[in-house]
Structure 1
Amino acid sequence: MTSPVQAYYRHDHGDKPVLLQSPGDVDALIDALLVSGPSENLASLHSLERPLMPAGFPDHELLVGAKGDLQLGVLAFTDEDVLVSFDPSAGRPEASYSIMGSATEFPSCSEIPIPLVRQAVKEFLLSGGRQPTCIEWQEPEFW
């Protein structure tokens, strides 16, 4: 059995995050992001299997964004390092995604096809919050 992952992506999730407990829940999250407006197309995920830091905050974060019009998305994984998804064939310029109206800029070549976004988030869920290995990563120059 997997440990749930908390997902925050709407204003009302501040006190009540959505719990992802199965691959189907991951698909539902990404489907919701795909049809969301530009102010709510990014989610912050935390696995409940990973430890909390002494201050009570998660020791990691997976950001997942999805744009329905492009059928592309982004990922950023943070623990000791910060890594962003990478697709050298995409070559698209920087991309902006927003969580609860707050924009985050992602570097060029960070957008990847939605099927890979789905696969990576499912891997995060099933691995107990580990960095997904099914995609390529890059270290962003800024963040």
Structure 2
Amino acid sequence: MQARAEARYRWDHGERPALLHTTEEVDSLIDSLLSGPVYENLAQIHSLERDSMPSGFPDHELLVGVDRDLQVGILTYLDSSGNVVTLGSLGRSPVYYIQGHMTEFPANSEIPIDLVRRGVKEFLSSGGRRPTCVQWQAVHP
């Protein structure tokens, strides 16, 4: 079975990303983020079903982060139309870590873990399109 997406979230994924073929593997990814090191709770995902830019880089990106203590998470999506982040109800400005590197997100951007799972599964099954099962807000620099 051909991989549909690749994910980077552990130190060793730089050259060898985790490959996602099925929705069950999405659940495994989320579970791994929830149970893994605190400084590796954010994953970068690219669909392998989309064309790359002329530079060879993906034309999109989905970031997925989880907070094991609060059982919430975050999704961000970037493509040529702009950068958006999930719209949630918690007022804090969360911080997540990808391969030890800190990324801060806007307040009110965290959503329940079950919505995070649904969003990543939709991304995978849609060929890398922005998930519609969550609400989005624009990210302002």
Normalising by structure 1, report the TM-score.
0.94
Closer, same or farther: CA 17–3 of 1 in aligned 2, 3 Å: closer
Tell whether the 8 Å contact from 1:3 to 1:128 is kept in structure 2 after alignment.
no
* Superposition misfits of 4+ residues, deviation over 4 angstroms: none
Deviation at 1:3, TM superposition (A): 5.3
Q: % of aligned pairs identical?
A: 53
Q: Distance in 1 between matches of 2:2 and 2:71?
A: 28
**Unpaired segments of 5 or more residues in structure 2?**
none
Q: Which letter does structure 1 place at the counterpart of 2:37?
A: G
Counterpart residue number, 1:82 = 83
Aligned residues: 140
Normalising by structure 2, report the TM-score.
0.95
SS at match of 2:50: coil
Counterpart residue number, 1:20 = 20
TM-superposition CA deviations, 1:26-73 (whole Å, max 9, x none): 000000011123210000000001110111100000000011111000
Q: Distance in 1 between matches of 2:101 and 2:87?
A: 22
Deviation at 1:2, TM superposition (A): 7.8
**Unpaired segments of 5 or more residues in structure 1?**
none
Q: Distance in 2 between matches of 1:127 and 1:118?
A: 14
Q: Distance in 1 between matches of 2:10 and 2:3?
A: 22
Alignment of 1:42-61 (within 5 A): 42-61=42-61
